[in-house]
């Protein structure tokens, strides 16, 4: 085998696939929402954290920032615990009527900018 083929094969074997990521064009940036409700489920994982927010009208799937950003900006995982009340400001998904992308969240008396 040529000398460069072996290192190339080793590097290829060690490479990890990139997680698929979507753009934000699926959200309507011209229509801002402010929702307050109770957190009924949450996740603090990559690529984005999320909560299910039960409001008076319906339950929303709220896409948050990546966990590292949330942590760096002062939003720890335990702030998103089930039963907490949260207010989120963000944009609705154009094709999923129960989903929004949060720009900021207020929970436990603290407002955190997510974008």
Q: How far is CA 33 from CA 5, 39, 53, 58, 100, in A?
A: 54, 17, 13, 14, 8
Domains and CATH numbers, the chain: 31-113 (2.40.50.1010)
pLDDT tens, per residue, the chain with 115 residues = 556 555 554 444 444 444 444 566 899 999 999 999 999 999 999 999 999 999 999 999 999 999 999 999 999 999 999 999 999 999 999 999 999 999 999 999 999 999 8
Give the pairing type, strands 33-43 and 50-54.
antiparallel
């Amino acid at each position: 085998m040529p000398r460069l083929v072996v290192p190339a094969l080793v590097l290829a074997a060690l490479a990890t696939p990139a997680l698929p990521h979507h753009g934000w064009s699926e959200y309507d940036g011209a229509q801002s929402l402010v929702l307050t409700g109770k957190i009924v489920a949450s996740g603090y994982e990559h690529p984005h954290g999320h909560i299910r927010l039960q409001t008076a009208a319906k339950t929303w799937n709220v896409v948050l920032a990546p966990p590292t950003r949330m942590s760096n900006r002062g939003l720890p995982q335990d702030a998103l615990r089930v039963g907490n009340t949260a207010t989120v400001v963000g944009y609705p998904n154009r094709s999923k009527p129960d989903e929004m992308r949060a720009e900021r969240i207020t929970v436990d008396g603290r407002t955190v900018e997510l974008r």
